[in-house]
């Protein structure tokens, strides 16, 4: 008795061969020359007339023969797909993570869907924004996001100053040079905020997802190991159609 995973394994090949053979049969039926034959004999008008040999072309393809081949091809395909679909109705397994059942008696077809979705979610989680590791972050409940410790910096302003290079005398005015001095005029207190996630949180999500992926894969393999519910529907369908 075949198992579901074996039926799934051969289904693709059966579909491919069926398509090729059905296409070939269809093309053969379009070649009218193969379906046609002729027989001609010649009789001269009188005994002195020219004698010509008979001409004949045999029928090389018969539609009913091709129909029978088509029935054989499609019967195999119908039966394989029916066996898979009938068995899929019974193929179920539990998704167990860390010894606890997360989902009970999940159909094999849904497990396959879930497995593909988890691959997409893995890509999504890997691209989640992570907090800058160069900063020290704490969660600020009032802002409902992460924040750094306040950092104080100064604000300066350039103030013009006079530098007396030479004092004034009776004969000469004072020599004064203008320059600018940076003077602290205030203080900035800076707090950075971020809606990103700590790297630890992202790593936890990835670890949890990988556990779930393994559990779903194991459940799908278990569900697909069920004995196939072999079906023979192709003959009934095609016999009705071509009878």
pLDDT tens digits, 118-151:
999 999 999 999 999 999 999 999 999 999 999 9
Whether 223 has a pLDDT exceeding 80, the answer reads: yes
In a domain, 165, yes or no: yes
**Helical residues (DSSP H) of the chain, grouped into ranges:** 4-30, 32-35, 63-88, 108-126, 199-223, 234-242
Q: Is the dihedral of CA 123, 127, 133, 137 positive or negative?
A: negative
Same domain, 2 and 83: yes
End-to-end CA distance of the chain: 31
DSSP state of 195: -
Same domain, 18 and 76: yes
Instruction: Give the mean pLDDT of 165-184.
Output: 82
Same domain, 25 and 81: yes
Same domain, 177 and 232: no
| Look-up of token digits 């989640």 | 128
| Half-sphere CA count of 242, side-chain side, radius 13 A | 18
Whether 171 has a pLDDT exceeding 80, the answer reads: no
Same domain, 1 and 68: yes
| Look-up of token digits 């750094």 | 148
Whether 30 has a pLDDT exceeding 90, the answer reads: no
Angle between helices 234-242 and 63-88 (to 10 degrees): 150
In a domain, 199, yes or no: no
If pLDDT is split at 50, 70 and 90, which confidence band does 186 have?
Answer: very high
Q: 172 in helix, strand or coil?
A: coil
Same domain, 84 and 158: no
Which residues contact residue 239 at a Cβ distance below 8 angstroms, ignoring those fewer than 6 apart? 71
In a domain, 114, yes or no: no
Q: 47 in helix, strand or coil?
A: coil
Same domain, 13 and 80: yes
Residue 34: give the domain boundaries.
Answer: 1-91+227-243
What integer pLDDT is reported at residue 36 of this predicted model?
Answer: 81
Whether 62 has a pLDDT exceeding 90, the answer reads: no
Instruction: Give the mean pLDDT of 5-30.
Output: 87
Same domain, 186 and 239: no
User: Rounded to an integer, what distance in angstroms lies between the CA atom of residue 240 and that of residue 200?
Assistant: 64
Domain count, the chain: 2
What integer pLDDT is reported at residue 26 of this predicted model?
Answer: 82
In a domain, 4, yes or no: yes
Contact of 82 with 231, CB cutoff 8 Å: yes
Same domain, 5 and 87: yes
User: 100-123 b/e with 16+ CB inside 10 Å = b?
Assistant: eeebeebebeebbebeeebeeebe
In a domain, 68, yes or no: yes
User: Rounded to an integer, what distance in angstroms lies between the CA atom of residue 241 and that of residue 243?
Assistant: 6
Same domain, 157 and 240: no
Query: pLDDT over 90 for what percent of the chain?
Result: 59
What integer pLDDT is reported at residue 68 of this predicted model?
Answer: 86
Instruction: Give the mean pLDDT of 138-167.
Output: 90
In a domain, 196, yes or no: no
In a domain, 8, yes or no: yes
Instruction: Give the mean pLDDT of 41-54.
Output: 86
Query: pLDDT over 70 for what percent of the chain?
Result: 100
Per-chain mean pLDDT for the chain: 90
In a domain, 27, yes or no: yes
Instruction: Give the mean pLDDT of 203-214.
Output: 97
Is the pTM here over 0.85, yes or no?
no
**Among 4-13, 34-43, 211-220, which is the least confidently predicted range?**
34-43
What integer pLDDT is reported at residue 85 of this predicted model?
Answer: 93
User: Rounded to an integer, what distance in angstroms lies between the CA atom of residue 183 and that of residue 158?
Assistant: 6
């Amino acid at each position: 008795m075949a198992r579901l995973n074996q039926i799934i394994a051969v289904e693709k090949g059966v579909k491919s061969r069926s398509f090729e053979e059905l296409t070939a049969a269809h093309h053969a039926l379009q070649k009218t020359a193969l379906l046609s034959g002729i027989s001609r004999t010649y009789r001269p008008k009188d005994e002195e007339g020219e004698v010509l040999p008979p001409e004949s072309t045999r029928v090389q393809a018969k539609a009913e023969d091709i129909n029978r081949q088509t029935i054989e091809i499609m019967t195999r395909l119908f039966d394989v797909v029916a066996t898979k679909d009938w068995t899929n109705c019974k193929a179920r397994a539990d998704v167990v993570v860390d010894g606890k059942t997360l989902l009970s008696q999940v159909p094999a077809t849904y497990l396959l869907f879930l497995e593909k979705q988890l691959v997409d979610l893995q890509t999504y989680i890997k691209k989640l924004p992570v907090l800058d590791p160069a900063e020290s972050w704490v969660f600020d409940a009032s802002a409902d996001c992460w924040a750094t410790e306040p950092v104080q910096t100064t604000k300066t302003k350039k103030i013009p100053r006079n530098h007396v290079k030479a004092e004034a005398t009776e004969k000469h005015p004072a020599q004064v040079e203008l320059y600018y001095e940076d003077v602290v005029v205030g203080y900035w207190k800076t707090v950075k905020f971020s809606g990103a996630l700590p790297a630890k949180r992202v790593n936890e999500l990835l670890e949890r997802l990988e556990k779930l992926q393994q559990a779903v894969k194991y459940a799908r393999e278990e569900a697909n190991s069920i004995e196939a519910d072999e079906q023979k529907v192709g003959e009934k369908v095609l016999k009705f159609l071509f009878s």
